[in-house]
Structure 1
Amino acid sequence: MTDRLTIEELASLMKKGAGISVDPADMANRPDSAFDEWGLDSLGLLGIVGELENRHSRPLPSDADKCKSPREFLDLVNTALTAGT
């Protein structure tokens, strides 16, 4: 498993954790669109953070669930995962 979260994986987590179907290609074309435009609320994002923490056996930054867009979330998560924090 790679230590980088992709748009495709994020879309899959949104489906699994929040029941929201998002086309990864569409999200890749609009990475700065707010999560609420995709139908994901803060509770759904918190669930995704929890899933990633379990998957990688380490905590993500405490502000990960406050990210507003896919790009912001991916940047924060991938920086944390590659830094080993």
Structure 2
Amino acid sequence: MTTQVTQVTVEELATLMKKGAGVTVDPRDLASRADAPFAEFGLDSLGLLGIVGELENRHGQALPTDAERCKSPRAFLDLVNGALTTGA
């Protein structure tokens, strides 16, 4: 049986921010300001930690410890999607 690896999208990240941290952000705004600090969207480090935990549960693998220290949506998505693709 093969496991299909899917990339985490900006839309999914926005949904996780709402679900895991109670932060509502428009995915288009998140995409257009992908290099802005998470703090500008109202997401703190505990919220990001919750998102990391949710993604680990969904994908059945641990994410790099650096994931919870990412400062921007782009850095987070690049790191997470790279780890999901390589399985590292």
* Alignment pair present for 1:23 and 2:26: yes
- 1:12-67 residue CA offsets vs partner (Å, 9 max, x unmatched): 00000000100000111110000000000000000000000000010000110000
Question: Distance between the aligned counterparts of 1:32 and 1:52, measured in 2?
Answer: 21
Question: Distance between the aligned counterparts of 1:76 and 1:69, measured in 2?
Answer: 11
* Alignment pair present for 1:58 and 2:61: yes
* Alignment pair present for 1:74 and 2:56: no
Question: Distance between the aligned counterparts of 2:32 and 2:67, measured in 1?
Answer: 22
Q: Tell me if the contact between 2:7 and 2:81 (Cα under 8 Å) persists in the aligned partners.
A: yes
Higher-Rg structure is 2
Q: 1:2 to 1:24 in 2, by over 3 A?
A: farther
Name the count of aligned residue pairs.
85
Structure 1 segments (4+ residues) deviating >3 Å: none
What stretches of structure 2 of length at least 5 have no aligned partner? none
Q: Secondary structure in 1 aligned to 2:80?
A: helix
Look up the equivalent residue of 1:39 and give its one-letter code.
G
TM-score computed with the length of structure 1 as normaliser:
0.97
Q: 1:84: how far off?
A: 1.3
TM-score computed with the length of structure 2 as normaliser:
0.93
| Identity level (%) | 68
What stretches of structure 1 of length at least 5 have no aligned partner? none
Q: 1:2: how far off?
A: 5.0
